[in-house]
Structures are given as C-alpha cells and as structure tokens.
Amino acid sequence: MKLSDAARKAKRVYLIGNGGSYANAVHICNDLLSVGIKAYTLDPATLTAIANDHGYSQVFSKWIETVGESGDLLVALSGSGRSLNILEAMWAARGKGMETMLITNYLQEKDMQGSEEEQLTIGHAAMKELRG
C-alpha cells in the first residue's frame, strides 16, 4: 500500500525513526499535518524520558502501547531496517491492531544516505498525491 493511501485511511499516523530517519519522520509528519492528516512524532523530552525509564530499545514501543489504537498507522523510517527499537514498536503496533509500514532501502542498497533520501522521496510523493 502507498503511504498516501494508508495515511488517508488511518485515524492517526505515528512516525518514528532514529537519527536522520527521525528528522525525516518529523518532516513527513509536518507535511501530513499540512493536509489535515492527524500525524504525530514523539517529542524529544518524552523520548528521552522513556529511554531513561525503560531503555532505548523500548522508546517507541512504550509510546505506541500508550497512545496507539486499532485503525491507526505506524510509519517506521529506518536506515537499516533492523534497529531493535523500531522492530519493538512495530510489534507493539501490530499487537494493538494498528497498520504498520516500514520505509527502508538499506537492505537493497547498503547505503544509509540513499536510504534516508528514499524516505523523503516516498514522503514527498505521498504529499503530491494527497494535495491532488
């Protein structure tokens, strides 16, 4: 399913990532908000509080367990596609009945910068479709 279709269908969209992928998640979140889609990323204060209390591997899954609901969408951006905190969040989302989408290109290209560029390419393509 395309990001634009999944975002339209979802009640809310949650976006996660690490490092540059987190920055891309924030960028795509803001774009989705600009077209009226309820989209969220984890703010840095809450992110570090969860990491402090539960460990970084649980930083996104604890958030999703708290706020996620069936009908929501989790979009995970990951350069490697293998980060434990990303995988834990996807498992948590599926446990809540949420749809999940992993955006990564690293498994094919083994190029982190290319993977992060592809994340924004997918996000921008979705925006073109959503803006019609």
For residues 7 and 5, what is the distance between their CA atoms, to the nearest angstrom?
5
CA dist 35 → 25, 42, 90, 101 (Å): 16, 20, 25, 20
Which pLDDT score is estimated for 104? 85
**Statement: residue 88 has pLDDT above 80:** yes
pLDDT of 15-72, one tens digit each?
A: 999 999 999 999 999 999 999 999 999 999 999 999 999 999 999 999 999 999 999 9
Q: At what angle do helices 59-67 and 84-95 cross, to 10 degrees?
A: 20
Higher pLDDT, 43 or 104: 43
pTM: 0.94
**β 39-41/73-77 pair status:** unpaired
Higher pLDDT, 81 or 5: 5
pLDDT of 105-119, one tens digit each?
A: 766 656 778 888 889
Which pLDDT score is estimated for 111? 75
For the chain, give the number of residues: 132
Q: How many domains does the chain fold into? A: 1
For residues 81 and 86, what is the distance between their CA atoms, to the nearest angstrom?
8
**Statement: residue 81 has pLDDT above 90:** no
For residues 46 and 41, what is the distance between their CA atoms, to the nearest angstrom?
10
Q: 26: domain CATH number?
A: 3.40.50.10490
Domain that holds residue 87: 3-131
For residues 111 and 130, what is the distance between their CA atoms, to the nearest angstrom?
29
